[in-house]
Amino acid sequence: MVLKHYGSHWSPNAKHVAMVLLEEKGPFQAIEVNMIDQEHKTEAYYAEKLPFGQDDDGLVLILRAICRYICKKYENQGANLMPTDLQTFAMFEFKRNMQL
């Protein structure tokens, strides 16, 4: 199953996820969500798609978790955006948690 990425070209968070997918060379299907008609605020949307979409492994709901999930899932292909050196990884985690 290819990742289904639900989002809008207006959404900065959807753009972040798409950039990580492209960098990691993860196959995905972009599915446009109509934010003008507030499709993203319907009960059906929340039940099925919030906010990421579907993968064989289920749903991931928070932007940073989505991006980390993609990095881990496709760590052996693409750009490998997460550091592998222990000290660099520790600094990466520190800065990520501090939102720097």
pLDDT band at 8 (very low <50, low <70, confident <90, very high): confident
pLDDT of residue 65: 80
Tens digit of pLDDT for each residue in 18-62?
A: 999 999 998 999 988 877 777 767 777 666 665 555 566 665 567
The domain limits of the chain are: 3-98
Higher pLDDT, 62 or 15: 15
Which CATH code fits 3-98?
3.40.30.10
Taking the CA atoms of 35, 26, 65 and 71 in sequence, report the sign of the dihedral they define: negative
pLDDT of residue 53: 52
pLDDT of residue 26: 87
**pTM beyond 0.75, yes or no:** no
Tens digit of pLDDT for each residue in 78-99?
A: 888 888 889 998 988 888 777 6
Amino acid, single-letter form, for residue 22: L
